[in-house]
Structure 1
Amino acid sequence: MYCATLTSLCYFVIFQDEPECVKYFYKEKVPEWGASTPGAARLCQRFVNRYHFATLYDTNHRIAVYSAYQFQPSNGGGRESRWFVEPQLVNKSWQAEMKDGYWLGKDYPGVYLGEKQALNEDFTYSGFDRGHLNPNGHHAVPSRNATFTLTNVVPQNPKLNQNSWRIHESDLTNLFKAKCSKAFVLVGAVPSAENWIVKNNVKRVNIPDYLWNAYCCVDNNDKPTQSGAATARNTEDNKVEKLTLVQLGEFLQQFSDEPVGELFYNDCRA
């Protein structure tokens, strides 16, 4: 579902209509961070007639502000060769189930799909990886397949994507399996001022300056047990900096005139 207004109220209205999506936020609290992003679209990511995660998507920069999900141990499989797009970002009356961008384009040959979202061809020969925010390795099939939507990827430096950030995601997998009954996760990007993938002299997809993530672990009684965060410059520096949630809030505050607020209910405190 697409929403053109810029208030967090709009986000809650959408999740009232699609209540399955609130479960990806601890205690069903949606962060204030990013709510005032111009052109923000609130997506409840739907695949094979099920919801799998939530995304706050910046239709102007054509990258996500963040993706929100619950960790699942992977059961293998689910490595897609397809890349999906969100039909509801093309036309609000179209169904809110991700579709293979290639075949959606064939079905609507006179309709441009990329006005409000990135397309697969934007990344071709760009020099950047299609870097998952919500990583496919943090899910079982079919949620794993659902991460292959272009609203869930950003142009990521290949060295970072294939090395330090990949290792960080793997370390989180081990931590979540060992320490968490449930793990609620946010993964986002900080857009750059003027760094874009350009196609045919058109600025198509913003190349973010930073990636970040945050997690809140809870026990069987839904009580917080552990939290943490990390940031990485989207460069060949190939370094991930581990932070607390408080430190991440201070980091994100540099990029906004509005308070960051709580990323998780009660800052994931017991």
Structure 2
Amino acid sequence: MFVLGLFTCIVLRAFSAQAKVVDSFDDCKGFFYKDTEPEGMDQNGKKICQKLEYDHYYYATLYSVHRRIPLYSAYIFDPECSSTAGRTENWHIEPQVNMDSDENIIKKYQAISSDYSDSGYDHGLLNPNSFQCDEGRIATFTLTNAAPIDESFDRIHWKNWESALRSFLRSKLDSHGGSAKVYIVTGTVPDDDIQIPHKGTSEDPERVTVPSHIWTAVCYKHHLNDTKSFSFGYIGKNQPEGGIRLMRVSDLNDKLSSLYSELLKTHQSIKIFVGDFYSYSECSITPGLESGSRNH
């Protein structure tokens, strides 16, 4: 999301994005709870195991070529990462999405950084770089992990919730001696009525779909005691005033199902986390995250 520090561009240039576009998420399934991806979103989206030039994967993304935005990115929370974020103007593209390195061809399938210029929207990272360490941060600066997010929503409201979430999860992990793993999925709901670049600002306008909503789902899985496991989610309209709401994951599933059904004009049933996770997590939502976000 919007970041305050300055990331060293020399370091960024030392790496190249080498995301692996896959038929299934088998190579990077560990970023999903029970190795299972969310159900009910665009199954024609490109599945991407995000990495740099090595074989180490940092997160997974489902990318809509038609709308040129990610539908979600799935990642693991690392409490050892510094909360200090970086900033860059150097954004990776992913040639594997369309198997070509020519920019004119790439533009048919992906956003490019100039699409965001003077649009009023940030390159909103779904997997936030402040949740990653070292090279993992560099791997987040790819346009397949970014969607147009309103500047005020991104820099104030969503940033505050990310900060509160980081603090909340660190506190929980500390209290449990690190005996847990945190799976996070952050996604978008496309709005086919709004695109950037705006007309009159580009020779190739209205290429990149602007999301109507941004959402996050959290699955905190304790290794030894399921009574200490929990899940929750939150969602907000991609507008300057924010209006982010904390809710159960089952309610977030219902909300996303309704929004996607309206978008696609056909019934959609979305399930972010698989299996019996809700049986011990639904009642464990704490108001601490919601109240804490107002203190930033």
Does the pair score TM above 0.5? yes
Q: State TM-score, norm by structure 1.
A: 0.82
1:212 is aligned, of 208, 211, 215, to 215
Cα root mean square deviation, aligned: 2.1
| Partner of residue 98, structure 1 | none
Matched, 1:165 2:182: no
Q: State TM-score, norm by structure 2.
A: 0.75
Matched, 1:221 2:224: yes
Alignment of 1:182-193 (within 5 A): 182-193=181-192
Displacement of 1:238 in angstroms is: 1.9
2:91 is aligned, of 76, 83, 100, to 83
| Partner of residue 99, structure 1 | none
Partner amino acid for 1:243? M
| Partner of residue 258, structure 1 | 268
Contact kept, 8 Å, 2:217 with 2:249, in 1: the verdict is yes
| Partner of residue 76, structure 2 | 70
Matched, 1:41 2:46: yes
Report the more deviating stretch, 111-120 or 208-217.
111-120
Displacement of 1:48 in angstroms is: 3.9
Q: State percent identity of aligned pairs.
A: 29
Matched, 1:197 2:204: no
Structure 2, unaligned runs of 5 or more: 1-19, 174-179, 262-266, 281-296
Contact kept, 8 Å, 1:179 with 1:217, in 2: the verdict is no
Distance in 2 (alpha carbons) for counterparts of 1:62 and 1:251 = 23
Alignment of 1:1-270 (within 5 A): 1-2=20-21, 10-11=23-24, 15-16=25-26, 18=27, 21-36=28-43, 39-49=44-54, 50-73=56-79, 74-75=81-82, 76=84, 79-91=87-99, 108=102, 111-180=104-173, 181-198=180-197, 199-221=202-224, 223=226, 225-254=229-258, 255-256=260-261, 257-270=267-280
Contact kept, 8 Å, 1:216 with 1:264, in 2: the verdict is no
Displacement of 1:114 in angstroms is: 1.5
Task: Give 3-state SS (helix, strand or coil) of 1:68's partner.
Answer: strand
Task: Give 3-state SS (helix, strand or coil) of 1:249's partner.
Answer: helix
Contact kept, 8 Å, 2:85 with 2:130, in 1: the verdict is no
Distance in 1 (alpha carbons) for counterparts of 2:105 and 2:120 = 24
| Partner of residue 100, structure 1 | none
Distance in 2 (alpha carbons) for counterparts of 1:114 and 1:194 = 20
Partner amino acid for 1:157? D
Partner amino acid for 1:215? V
Sort the Cα spacing of 1:66 and 1:262 in 2 relative to 1 into closer, same or farther, 3 A.
closer
Displacement of 1:193 in angstroms is: 2.6
Q: 1:134-186 CA distances to partner (integer Å, 9 max, x unpaired)?
A: 11111111111111111111111111101111000011101111114221000
Task: Give 3-state SS (helix, strand or coil) of 1:52's partner.
Answer: strand
What is the number of equivalent residue pairs in this alignment? 241
Distance in 1 (alpha carbons) for counterparts of 2:221 and 2:87 = 29
Contact kept, 8 Å, 2:190 with 2:209, in 1: the verdict is yes
Distance in 2 (alpha carbons) for counterparts of 1:146 and 1:124 = 22
Q: 1:10-52 CA distances to partner (integer Å, 9 max, x unpaired)?
A: 43xxx33x2xx1110011111113143xx41000001141210
